[in-house]
Structure 1
Amino acid sequence: MVESVVAVVPDPVGSGGRWCALGADAGAAGPVESVPDLAAAVARREAAERPRWVWAATDEMYPWLLERAPVRPARCHDVKLVESLLLGMAGRHGRPRSLGAAWARLHDLPEPPDAPEAGADDQPVLFAADRQHLPQDADPLTALIAVYADQRRRIAASEHPDRTLLLCAAESAGALAAVEMGRDGLPWSATVHDELLVGLLGPRPAGGARPALLGDLSLRLQQALGRPVNPDSPAQVLPAFARVGVHLRTTRSHELREVDHPAAALLLRYKELSRIHAAHGWAWREAWVRSGRFRPEYVVGGVVSGRWATRGGGALQIPRLLRGAVVADPGHRLVVADAGQLEPRVLAAMSGDAGLARAASAGDLYAALALDAFSGDRPRAKIALLAAMYGQTSGEAGQLLAVMRRRFPAALALVEAAARTGEAGGVVRSRLGRTSPTPSASRFVDTDGADDAGTADTDGAASAGQRAARSWGRFTRNFVIQASASDWALAMLAALRRRLAAIGPEPRLVFFQHDEVIVHAPAELAAAVEAAVAAAGDEARRLVFGPTPVPFPLETHAVTCYADAK
Structure 2
Amino acid sequence: MHAVLSRGPDGVPVLTRTATPGPEASSPTAVADLPATVAALDVAEQPRWTWDDTTAWYPGLLAAGVRVDRAHDLRLAHRILRSSALAAGSALAAAPPGPWDAPPAAVDPEVPVGTVRRPQSESLFDLGPERPRTRHEAEPASRPDPVAELAAQQDAVEGAAAPGRLRLLVAAESAGALVAAEMRHAGFPWRADVHDQILTDTLGPRPPEGARPARLESLVGEIRAALDAPPTLNPDSHPDLLRAMEYAGVGARSLRKWELERLDHPVVAPLLEYKNLYRLWTANGWHWLDQWVTDGRFRTDYVVGGVVTGRWSSTGGGALQLPKAVRRAAQADPGWVLVVADAAQLEPRVLTAMSRDEAMAAAGQHGDLYAGIVASGAVESREHAKVGMLGAMYGGTTGVSGIVLPRLTRAFPRAMGLVEDAARTGERGGVVTTWLGRSSPPPGQAWEAVQAGALDDGAAADAASTARSSARSWGRFTRNFVVQGTAAEWALCWLASIRRGLWELGTSSSPGLGPAPFADRPHLAFFLHDEVVVHAPAAMADDVARVVREAAAEAGRLLFGDFPVEFPLTVATVDSYADAK
Q: What is the letter of the counterpart of residue 55 of structure 1?
A: W
Say yes or no: does 1:538 pair with 2:553. Answer: yes
* 2:21 and 2:150 in contact (8 A); partners too: no
Match of 2:39 in 1: 43
Match of 1:560 in 2: 575
Q: What is the letter of the counterpart of residue 117 of structure 1?
A: R
- CA spacing shift, 1:316–1:107, aligned 2, 3 Å: closer
- CA spacing shift, 1:267–1:343, aligned 2, 3 Å: farther
Q: Per-residue CA shift, 1:182-216, capped at 9, x if unaligned?
A: 11100000111111111221211112311122223
Q: What is the letter of the counterpart of residue 40 of structure 1?
A: A
TM-score (norm 1): 0.86
Match of 1:465 in 2: 467
Q: Per-residue CA shift, 1:359-411, capped at 9, x if unaligned?
A: 22121122222333466522222111111111111223211222222222111
In terms of fraction of residues, the more helix-rich structure is 1
* 2:312 and 2:529 in contact (8 A); partners too: yes
Q: Per-residue CA shift, 1:252-280, capped at 9, x if unaligned?
A: 44555565656455444322222221111
- CA spacing shift, 1:437–1:235, aligned 2, 3 Å: farther
Match of 1:168 in 2: 170
Q: Per-residue CA shift, 1:59-81, capped at 9, x if unaligned?
A: 011112223x3211111110111
Q: 2-side partners of 1:103 and 1:421: how far apart?
A: 25
- CA spacing shift, 1:218–1:340, aligned 2, 3 Å: farther
Q: 1-side partners of 2:165 and 2:329: how far apart?
A: 40
Match of 2:527 in 1: 512
- CA spacing shift, 1:253–1:419, aligned 2, 3 Å: farther
Equivalent of 2:562, from 547, 560, 564? 547
* 2:188 and 2:298 in contact (8 A); partners too: yes
- Match of 2:533, SS state, is strand
Match of 1:72 in 2: 67
Q: 1-side partners of 2:298 and 2:496: how far apart?
A: 22
- Match of 2:148, SS state, is helix
Residue 8 (structure 1) shift = 1.3
Q: Per-residue CA shift, 1:487-542, capped at 9, x if unaligned?
A: 00001001110111111251111111101111111111111111110111111101
Match of 1:29 in 2: 25
Say yes or no: does 1:528 pair with 2:543. Answer: yes
Segment of structure 1 superposing worse, 103-112 or 34-43: 103-112
Segment of structure 1 superposing worse, 301-310 or 253-262: 253-262
Segment of structure 1 superposing worse, 350-359 or 503-512: 350-359
Q: 1-side partners of 2:260 and 2:552: how far apart?
A: 38
* 1:164 and 1:433 in contact (8 A); partners too: yes
Segment of structure 1 superposing worse, 162-171 or 190-199: 190-199
Q: 2-side partners of 1:441 and 1:337: how far apart?
A: 42
Q: Per-residue CA shift, 1:213-267, capped at 9, x if unaligned?
A: 222333333444554654434434455556636454x544455556565645544
Equivalent of 1:132, from 133, 139, 144? 139
Superposed, which structure 2 residues align to 1:191-230 within 5 Å?
191-227=193-229, 230=234
* 2:35 and 2:61 in contact (8 A); partners too: yes
* 1:27 and 1:145 in contact (8 A); partners too: no
Q: 2-side partners of 1:105 and 1:292: how far apart?
A: 48
Superposed, which structure 2 residues align to 1:384-403 within 5 Å?
384-403=388-407
Match of 1:158 in 2: 160
Q: What is the letter of the counterpart of residue 133 of structure 2?
A: V
Q: 1-side partners of 2:229 and 2:311: how far apart?
A: 43
Say yes or no: does 1:55 pair with 2:51. Answer: yes
- Match of 2:3, SS state, is strand
Residue 174 (structure 1) shift = 0.7
- Match of 2:332, SS state, is coil
Match of 2:504 in 1: 502
- CA spacing shift, 1:12–1:393, aligned 2, 3 Å: same
Q: 2-side partners of 1:242 and 1:394: how far apart?
A: 32
Residue 155 (structure 1) shift = 1.6
Q: 2-side partners of 1:295 and 1:550: how far apart?
A: 35
Match of 1:307 in 2: 311
Superposed, which structure 2 residues align to 1:124-523 within 5 Å?
124-125=132-133, 132-135=139-142, 143-227=145-229, 230-238=234-242, 244=249, 246-248=251-253, 250-253=254-257, 256=260, 263-373=267-377, 376-440=380-444, 463-505=465-507, 506-523=521-538
Q: What is the letter of the counterpart of residue 276 of structure 1?
A: L
- CA spacing shift, 1:104–1:419, aligned 2, 3 Å: closer
- Match of 2:364, SS state, is helix
Q: 1-side partners of 2:552 and 2:147: how far apart?
A: 34
Residue 297 (structure 1) shift = 1.0
Residue 91 (structure 1) shift = 11
Residue 295 (structure 1) shift = 1.0
- CA spacing shift, 1:113–1:486, aligned 2, 3 Å: closer
- CA spacing shift, 1:153–1:253, aligned 2, 3 Å: farther
Say yes or no: does 1:117 pair with 2:118. Answer: yes
Q: 2-side partners of 1:83 and 1:260: how far apart?
A: 56
Q: 1-side partners of 2:153 and 2:135: how far apart?
A: 19
TM-score (norm 2): 0.84
- CA spacing shift, 1:432–1:234, aligned 2, 3 Å: farther
Aligned length: 530
- CA spacing shift, 1:530–1:108, aligned 2, 3 Å: closer
* 2:365 and 2:566 in contact (8 A); partners too: yes
Residue 85 (structure 1) shift = 1.1
Match of 1:454 in 2: none
Q: Give RMSD over aligned pairs.
A: 3.1
Residue 123 (structure 1) shift = 7.7
Equivalent of 1:18, from 14, 17, 41? 14
Equivalent of 1:83, from 55, 60, 78? 78
* 1:7 and 1:21 in contact (8 A); partners too: yes
- Match of 2:534, SS state, is strand
Residue 347 (structure 1) shift = 1.3
* 1:20 and 1:31 in contact (8 A); partners too: yes
Q: 2-side partners of 1:530 and 1:291: how far apart?
A: 27
- CA spacing shift, 1:105–1:467, aligned 2, 3 Å: closer
